[in-house]
């Protein structure tokens, strides 16, 4: 698969490493070149400096041929915008994004955006672990 990951933070970099190891073609997009230090030295994909909400940067990253886009920058709104551009402007078949704010995630759920709220997921996970004892 051709996958674009917007945001090379800890999550983005780790996801990139996992997908790259499985042989997918991964393109990382981040506004700061410094973030790419998080990618493992074995990473065989592409790393590009650019704004993941910007149409032309996404084009350069090859979004027209992408099978999937994952938006995991630090900003909820940035992720939402990036994901919506991928989904509605470029018709990328699979689009995922991270939205920390659970309330905001709910709204975008109803708008058809596939989003994950780490806040909710982690809270549930911690609760489940507590209940296991």
Partner 1 sequence: MYIIIVGGGQVGYSLCKALLDEGHEVLIIEKDASKCERINDEMGAVCMRGDGCETSTLSDAGAARADMFISATNEDEDNLVSCQVAKHKFGVPRTIARINNPKNEIIFKKLGVNYTVSSVNLIMEHIQEEMPTHPLVHLITIEPEGMEVVEIRIPQHAAAIGKKLKDLPIDPASLLCALIRTGSSPVQPDPDTVVKAGDKFIAVVSPSIEGQLRSTLVGA
Residue numbers at the binding site for partner 1 (CB under 8 A):
53-56, 75-78, 80-81, 84-85, 88-89, 101, 103-104, 107, 110-111
Is 12 or 52 the residue whose CB approaches partner 1 more closely? Answer: 52
Q: Is the dihedral of CA 122, 38, 32, 83 positive or negative?
A: negative
Contact 92, 119 (CB under 8 A): no
Is 1 or 107 the residue whose CB approaches partner 1 more closely? Answer: 107
Query: Shortest approach of partner 1 to residue 128 CB, angstroms?
Result: 26
Query: Shortest approach of partner 1 to residue 47 CB, angstroms?
Result: 22
Query: Shortest approach of partner 1 to residue 72 CB, angstroms?
Result: 14
Which candidate, 26, 50, 58, places its Cα nearest to that of 40?
26
Is 19 or 86 the residue whose CB approaches partner 1 more closely? Answer: 86
- Can you tell me the distance from the alpha carbon of 120 to that of 73, in angstroms, rounded to the nearest whole number? 18
Residue 89, burial from CB neighbour count under 10 angstroms (0-12, 13-18, 19+): exposed
């Amino acid at each position: 698969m051709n996958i674009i990951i917007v945001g090379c933070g800890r999550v983005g970099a780790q996801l990139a490493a996992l997908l790259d190891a499985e042989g997918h073609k991964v393109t990382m997009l981040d506004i700061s070149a410094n973030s790419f230090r998080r990618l493992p030295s074995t990473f065989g994909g592409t790393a590009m400096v650019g704004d993941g909400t910007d149409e032309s940067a996404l084009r350069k990253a090859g979004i027209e041929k992408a099978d999937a886009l994952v938006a995991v920058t630090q900003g909820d709104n940035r992720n939402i915008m990036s994901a919506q551009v991928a989904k509605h402007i470029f018709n990328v078949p699979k689009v995922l994004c991270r939205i920390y704010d659970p309330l905001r995630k709910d709204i975008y759920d109803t708008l058809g955006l596939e989003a994950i709220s780490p806040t909710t997921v982690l809270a549930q996970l911690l609760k489940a672990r507590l209940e296991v004892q």
